């Protein structure tokens, strides 16, 4: 079954404690992306990756890092989380080339930074 998985699904942490949210897809998609979703603001792109070792900033990259060492994994790293990073995070992947295919979203990670 084609899917995007994220872990953890829920996380409560404290300011400044480094954390990583993992994302993995089994569809061999080139393109992966991280979004945060906040009430009234919709989905906003944090970082995206067009392929292995190729990453780029989205609309709201401050305070986040990503890496793409393998095609299937695209972890989101918060080196020093702050309360304004409390949000619902989604990872997504899409196959590039031809007409644009469907973007598959993960189930989401709800992060609370105290």
How far is residue 79's CA from residue 18's CA, in Å, rounded to a whole number? 5
Is residue 31 within the footprint of other proteins (CB under 8 A)?
yes
Least gap, CB of 79 to other proteins (angstroms): 23
- CB nearer to other proteins: give 15 or 102: 102
In sequence order, which residues have a C-beta less than 8 Å from that of residue 30 and are 6 or more positions away? 50, 51, 71, 95, 96, 97
**Contacting positions for other proteins (CB under 8 A):** 4, 31, 33, 40-45, 48, 50, 56, 58, 90, 92, 94, 96, 99-100, 102-108, 110
């Amino acid at each position: 079954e084609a899917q995007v998985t994220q872990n953890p699904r829920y996380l409560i942490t404290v300011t400044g404690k480094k954390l990583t949210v993992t994302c993995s897809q089994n569809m061999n998609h080139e393109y992966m992306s991280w979004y945060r979703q906040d009430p009234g603001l919709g989905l906003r792109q944090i970082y995206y990756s067009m392929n292995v070792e190729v990453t780029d900033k989205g609309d709201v990259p401050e305070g986040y890092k990503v890496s793409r060492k393998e095609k299937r994994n695209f972890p989101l790293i918060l080196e020093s989380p702050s309360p304004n990073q409390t949000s619902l995070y989604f990872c997504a992947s899409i196959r590039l080339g031809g007409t644009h295919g469907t973007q598959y979203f993960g189930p989401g990670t709800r992060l609370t930074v105290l």
